[in-house]
Amino acid sequence: MIHLLSRLPAGARVLDLGAAAGSFPDVRPGVLVVRLDLKFDPGGAAGCLVRGDAARLPFANGVFDLLVSNHSLEHFVELEAVVREMGRVARPGAGLYVAVPDAGTLTDRIYRWIGRGGGHVNPFRKPAEVIVPIERLTGLSHRATRDLYSSLSFLNNHNVRGWGPKKLLLFARGDERFLAVLLWSLRTVDRVFGSGWSRYGWEFHFGAADPGEARDPWVNVCVRCGAGHSEEYLREQASGWRKFGPVESYRCPACGGFNLFSAEPVRRTRRTQP
């Protein structure tokens, strides 16, 4: 998502849909970022905050250069109306970035079990369930799909007030090191047996949201803040590297969280021509 923002021209407009206080940092001076949600805590938010219904967007036709729906489509009751509205406010030649969980993954099932549904009303189980309606209702062509990997950050006791639900007892009360070991174990099983235990969803690019060169998926996702990083970036920027036999640990360059490093898998990015 950040690489899409970095390529926008000065004066571009971005809609962060269902964003609460923001689903990405406001990293581009000269680019207007509009965050829209039905309710949010404005403390610490960046950009222009608008309280509104995604199924009835309070904007004129064709005003946004880039639209971002970062883990929001699964929450919208009027999904078709929301997607149609996204197409209406996108200018000709606009880009669209979408990320959603795969309802069939272990991570999403744990999330919905811990959170009594987690507010998810649209269970996506195949990429086509996202791609087909978006292309049909917005007119934006699918460019690429990439697998996203789990962080389990919603279980981390750094992110849960108090001890949270009693169900967290099964995850060592959200202990960060326990979760780091659990994630490393799931990724190791995936690498050896070709399973998908450490996956949790997909990201999609549409229209002018060119993903650039197809990249390997980033399996090293921080167990505290959820930030994903490439192996090259971690080797340069992460601190606190230590080795325990064949296992390496590091501190996330974004938040300082404790993580165990995993080798990156074979490429799973799927591209289509615009």
Q: 92-147: per-residue pLDDT in tens?
A: 999 999 999 999 999 999 999 998 888 899 999 999 999 999 999 999 999 999 99
Report, as an integer, the average pLDDT of 146-165: 87
More confident residue, 240 or 167: 240
More confident residue, 20 or 122: 122
pLDDT at 128: 97
pTM of the model: 0.89
pLDDT at 45: 56
Report, as an integer, the average pLDDT of 51-78: 96
Q: What is the pLDDT of residues 229-251, one digit of tens each?
A: 989 999 999 999 999 999 999 99
Non-local (6+) Cβ contacts of 107 within 8 A are 101, 150, 152, 198, 199, 200
pLDDT at 4: 84
Are residues 196 and 274 in contact, defined by beta-carbon separation less than 8 angstroms?
A: no
More confident residue, 226 or 269: 226
Report, as an integer, the average pLDDT of 12-36: 85
Domain residue ranges in the chain: 1-101+118-149+201-213, 151-197+216-265
Domain 1-101+118-149+201-213 has CATH 3.40.50.150: yes
Question: What is the C-alpha end-to-end distance of the chain, expressed in Å?
Answer: 18
